[in-house]
Amino acid sequence: MEPLVRCNHLTKYYGRFPALNDVSFLINPGRIVGLLGPNGSGKTTLIKIMNSLVTPTSGEILIQGEKPDVRSKARISYLPDKLFFNEFMTVDELMAYYEDFYVDFDGDRAFELFKDLHIDTSSRIKSLSKGTQEKVQLIMIMSREAKLYILDEPIGGVDPAARDYILNTIISNYNPEASIILSTHLISDIERILDDCMFLKNGRLILYNSAEALRQERGMSIDEIFREVFRC
């Protein structure tokens, strides 16, 4: 079976600076993968390349065996770490927009999630608090029936209660045919929901193993391993 994501010797230079350096890995369906590393380790560059927002210098990345293009975009649901919607839209208008362009968008489910979090769908995104805006973005992303979810810092600016709700949503939406890539600093909060961990340092993939195997081998939590590996 073709892995969901296959990365072969991916390299990206910005001028003379290698943001990504000979990165290779594969991700099978049904896995929740943590993409872990400090700022500047190449996580965001890797994610951008997967979403064809940036072209690599050399190497390739394949989504379900194909290069990233219009077809793969329909199967990837990406949550960037910044606000990327037009602030003047209302949540309802945003849902209509998604309905128009994404065949796999489940508007009913999104509406239910908005109700659960007491978000008024007729309000303009601009009028919502930052935390609420982030929840709106997350709900839109998770309401798609995609094959690959890429979440860049999904719980960063969110309060602990909402954090639990978000992690719960991610677990409840688990689909053995889809995979989730979670890029984050807040490792101790999310490490229990990870299957596998990818450690990126200075653009290189230095460690890729299952979370449980790492715990067994080193007798440490993933958070502790991270602190050790990236010690300043």
Partner 1 sequence: MAWKLNSSKPIYLQLIGILKSQIVSGQYAPGEKLKSVRDLAAEAGVNPNTMQKALAGLEDEGLIYTNRTSGRYVTEDEDILQQIRSENAGGLILDFLKSMQNMGFTKDDIFQLLEHHMNTQIHSVSLNQEED
Partner 2 sequence: MLGKIMKHEFIFIKRIYFPVFIGTVGVTLFSIILYKLNTFFVSKDLPILSLATGIINGLMMSLLVLVPALSVLFVIMMFYRTMVGREGYLTHTLPIKKRDLVIGKNLSGMIFCLFTMVVSLICFILYCYLTDIKLYNEIFGFHQVFHHLSEFFKNPTVQEHLLEILLAILLVFAAFLVQIYFNIGYGYLCISLGQLMNKHKIIYTILFWIAINIGISTLSSILISMISILLLGTNFNEPLIDFISKNSFYAFDLLAFAMLAINAVLAFLCNFFSIRLLTNKLNLE
Q: Which amino acid is present at 202?
A: N
Q: Please, which of residues 117-136 interact with partner 2 by CB under 8 A?
A: none
Query: What's the closest the beta carbon of residue 179 comes to partner 1, in angstroms?
Result: 11
Backbone angles phi, psi at 211, to 5 degrees: -60, -45
**Which of the choices partner 1, partner 2, none does residue 128 contact, using the CB cut-off of 5 to 8 A by kind?**
none
Q: Which residues contact 100 (CB under 8 A, 6 or more apart)?
A: none
32 binds, among partner 1, partner 2, none (CB under 5 to 8 A by kind): partner 1
Helix (H, G, I), strand (E, B) or coil at 131: helix
Task: For partner 2, give the closer residue by CB, 101 or 172.
Answer: 101
The string of DSSP codes covering 80-102 is: -SS--S-TTSBHHHHHHHHHHH-
Residues at the contact surface with partner 1, assessed by CB under 8 A: 30-32, 164, 167-168, 171-172, 174, 188, 191-195, 211-212, 215-216, 219-224
Q: Which two tokens stand for residue 136?
A: 């709106």
Tokens at 177, concatenated:
């045919």
Q: What is the DSSP letter of 41?
A: S
Nearest to partner 1 of 49, 198 (CB atom): 198
For binding to partner 2 (CB under 8 A), which residues are involved?
14-15, 48, 51-55, 70-71, 73-74, 76, 78, 80, 82-86, 88, 93, 97, 100-102
